[in-house]
Amino acid sequence: MEDKLYAFIMRGELTKVALNKTEVIGRHSSSDFLSQEYMKSLSLDLLDDECVNSAKVMATVYTAIAAFENMVRKFVVKILLEHKGESWWGQCVSEKIRRSAETRKKDEEKIKWHSHRGELMINYVNFGDLASIMAQNYELFEDYIVSIDWSKQIFSTLERSRNVIMHSGELGRRDIERIGTNIRDWISQVGV
C-alpha cells in the first residue's frame, strides 16, 4: 500500500515538473505573450488606467471563483456518473433545474456566432443549483460533504461575490479573504 501511494505521488510530481517545463502556461501564471495579445485585441490601452487596474484585481478573484465553480461541476458529474451511469442527468437532476438548463442551452444555440458554455448540461446549471443537485442525491455525496446546508452556505457566499464581480463591482479585502476561506474549507473537506 505504501509503495502504491509513493508511486502515485511521484508520478504526479514528475508530471507537474514536465508540464512546468513546457511552453504551455505554467501553474496559475499568465503568459506575457498571451496577455499582450489580449491587451491589443481588447484595446485596453484606450481605457482608463484606474478602471483597468481595478478590473485586473477583480479578474484574479474571479479566476479563483470560476476555477472553483468548474471543479465543483466536475465533482458532481464524476460522482453521479460513477453511481448512476450515463443517464444521471435524467435520473438525478430535478425537472425544474433540467428545464432551466435546457432553456439556457437552446437560447445559446440560437446565437451561432458566439462561443457556448459547452456540451455538458451541467455547464448550463446555475452555481447555486449544484448544491440542490447534491441535496437531491445526498446519499451519493454524504461521504464528501458535511451537510447540504454547509454546501449551500459556501455556494451562496461565493455566488454573491461572483455576482458583484460579474456586474463590474469591486469586492473588499474581507470579501476576498472570505472567498479564499470558503474555497480552502471545501477543498479540505471534499478534496476537490
CA distance 157 to 144: 19
Q: Is the pLDDT of residue 121 over 80?
A: yes
Which pLDDT value is given to residue 91? 96
Q: How confident is the model at residue 68 (pLDDT cuts 50, 70, 90)?
A: very high
> pLDDT of 135-191, one tens digit each?
999 999 999 998 999 999 999 999 999 999 999 999 999 999 999 999 999 999 998
Which pLDDT value is given to residue 18? 56
Q: Hey, what's the cell of 16?
A: 507537474
Structurally, the chain folds into a number of domains equal to 1
Long-range contacts, stretch 30-38, CB < 8 angstroms, 24+ apart = none
Q: Do the domain assignments include residue 20?
A: no
Q: Do the domain assignments include residue 170?
A: yes
Q: Do the domain assignments include residue 3?
A: no
Q: Do the domain assignments include residue 69?
A: yes
Q: Hey, what's the cell of 121?
A: 448540461
Give the HSE-up count for residue 168: Cα atoms under 13 Å, Cβ half-sphere: 2
Under a CB-based contact definition with an 8 Å cutoff, are residues 104 and 129 in contact? Answer: no
Which pLDDT value is given to residue 192? 73
**Residue-range definition of the domain harbouring residue 178:** 50-84+127-190
Which pLDDT value is given to residue 25? 47
